[in-house]
Every structure is written in C-alpha cells, then in structure tokens.
C-alpha cells in the first residue's frame, strides 16, 4: 500500500514523508511532542498527529 494511503505510519515512513531524521522523530516521541504507540514490534504514528506536529514546528 502506498504511504499516501496509510493512516498509520512507521517511523521510517514518517521520516520519508517529512524529511526529518529518525533520531529527531524518536526524540519528539520520547518528549511527548509527537503521539505514537507501539503496535506489534514497531512504533506507529497517526498521519494526522504527524501533520499536527510538523505544523507546530513552524
């Protein structure tokens, strides 16, 4: 499924969409600035939460 059609994104997909580094995104998750949840073996971020986080950066 293309990234554009997904509602939940992996950290790698969020990184690809935003151009932000994996470390930057993980730091934001650890600080509670970006909502994310472990589902299965990896972190997932809602597309809407990622958009909200990026909007707050500027």
Type and span of the H or E element at 33: none
pTM: 0.90
Tell me, what's the pLDDT at 52? 97
pLDDT band at 2 (very low <50, low <70, confident <90, very high): confident
Banded model confidence at residue 5, pLDDT cuts 50, 70, 90:
confident
Query: Using CA atoms, how far apart are residues 8 and 20, in angstroms rounded to an integer?
Result: 17
Q: Is 50:9 a contact under the CB 8 Å cutoff? A: yes
């Amino acid at each position: 499924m293309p990234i554009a059609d997904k509602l939940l994104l992996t950290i790698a997909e969020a990184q690809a969409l935003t151009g932000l580094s994996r470390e930057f995104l993980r730091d934001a998750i650890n600080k509670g600035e970006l909502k994310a949840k472990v589902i299965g073996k990896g972190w997932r971020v809602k597309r809407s939460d990622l958009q909200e986080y990026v909007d707050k950066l500027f």
